């Protein structure tokens, strides 16, 4: 049991879980942890620890290992990806102003990688209204009902998936939830929701040269580098 609780093992599991998410497309931290435990410890050992959170790396530890992989594999390329994703997020939010869009996740924090998506919260009391509007915009999208635990209860929400070079996910909430503070599954801290105006300021501050070029040309610098990732 001591072996299972060692810092070295936690680090090894975190690195393998991060590799699974980056290279093999595992998109949930918990799944990555369980697969990593099975691969590192074998079928028996992995089964013994995968349901004991105290023996597994935290989501934050995996995220830190994932950032190291991204930095090693993509380097400055990740900065170009971040700028492109932020501008596309901003353009999308401006198109959806009537639904009070908010940006969350890796595009807002800056921790993007290959396979990252643009996560937006939109607010409406009528999902049909949202879908009609997206259809009028000419979007080709898919919808899915997702069950999320909020506080001590489970609720069903509609998620809308759309591809514009990068995958975009819209989570539809009712208007009375716009001020509800959710917490991150990675570090437990409150999730920051950025308005379009806040995102625009962030882009201007962190990508000043690329932003000035975009304002002058209406073209996203380096976007052609990522179009090969668009599966359409």
> Final residue of a domain: which of 23, 50, 74?
74
For residues 63 and 122, membership in a common domain is answered with no
> Final residue of a domain: which of 21, 41, 74?
74
For residues 124 and 223, membership in a common domain is answered with yes
Total domains in the chain come to 2
For residues 107 and 141, membership in a common domain is answered with yes
For residues 88 and 114, membership in a common domain is answered with yes
Query: For residues 79 and 228, which has the higher predicted lDDT (pLDDT)?
Result: 79
Angle at CA of residue 120, ends 118 and 124, nearest 5°: 155
Instruction: Note the pTM of the prediction, 2 decimals.
Output: 0.73
Domain that holds residue 177: 77-229
The confidence band for 151, taking pLDDT boundaries of 50, 70 and 90, is low
Tens digits of residue pLDDT in 153-192:
788 899 999 999 999 999 999 999 998 877 766 566 778 8
For residues 40 and 111, membership in a common domain is answered with no
CA distance 9 to 33: 12
Strands of the sheet containing 166-173, edge to edge, are 102-104, 118-123, 166-173, 153-164, 141-150
Q: Is the pLDDT of residue 45 over 80?
A: no
Give the pLDDT of residue 115.
81
For residues 151 and 214, membership in a common domain is answered with yes
Q: Is the pLDDT of residue 203 over 70?
A: yes
For residues 109 and 164, membership in a common domain is answered with yes
Q: Is the pLDDT of residue 194 over 60?
A: yes
Give the pLDDT of residue 198.
97
CATH code, domain with 215: 3.30.460
Tens digits of residue pLDDT in 98-128:
999 999 988 998 888 888 899 999 999 999 9
> Final residue of a domain: which of 54, 74, 94?
74
Angle at CA of residue 63, ends 60 and 68, nearest 5°: 130
Q: Is the pLDDT of residue 4 over 50?
A: no
| Burial (0-12, 13-18, 19+ Cβ within 10 Å), 134 | buried
The confidence band for 46, taking pLDDT boundaries of 50, 70 and 90, is low
């Amino acid at each position: 049991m001591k072996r299972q609780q060692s810092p070295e093992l936690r680090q090894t599991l975190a690195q393998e879980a991060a590799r699974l998410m980056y290279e093999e497309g595992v998109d949930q931290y918990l799944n990555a942890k369980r697969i990593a435990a099975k691969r590192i410890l074998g079928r028996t050992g992995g089964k013994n620890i995968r349901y004991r959170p105290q023996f597994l790396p935290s989501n934050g530890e995996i995220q830190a290992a994932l950032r190291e992989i991204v930095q090693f594999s993509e380097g400055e390329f990740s900065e170009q990806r971040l700028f492109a994703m932020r501008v596309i997020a901003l353009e999308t939010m401006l198109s959806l102003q009537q639904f009070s869009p908010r940006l969350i996740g890796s595009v807002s924090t800056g921790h993007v990688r290959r396979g990252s998506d643009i996560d937006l919260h939109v607010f409406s009391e009528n999902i049909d209204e949202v879908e009609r509007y997206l259809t009028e915009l000419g979007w080709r999208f898919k919808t899915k009902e997702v069950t999320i635990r909020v506080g001590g209860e489970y609720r069903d929400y509609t998620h809308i998936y759309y591809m514009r070079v990068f995958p975009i996910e819209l989570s539809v909430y009712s208007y009375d939830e716009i001020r509800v503070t959710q917490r991150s599954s990675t570090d437990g801290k409150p999730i920051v929701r950025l308005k379009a105006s806040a995102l625009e300021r962030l882009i201007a501050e962190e990508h000043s040269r690329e932003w000035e070029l975009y304002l002058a040309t209406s073209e996203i610098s380096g976007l052609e580098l990522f179009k090969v990732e668009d599966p359409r």
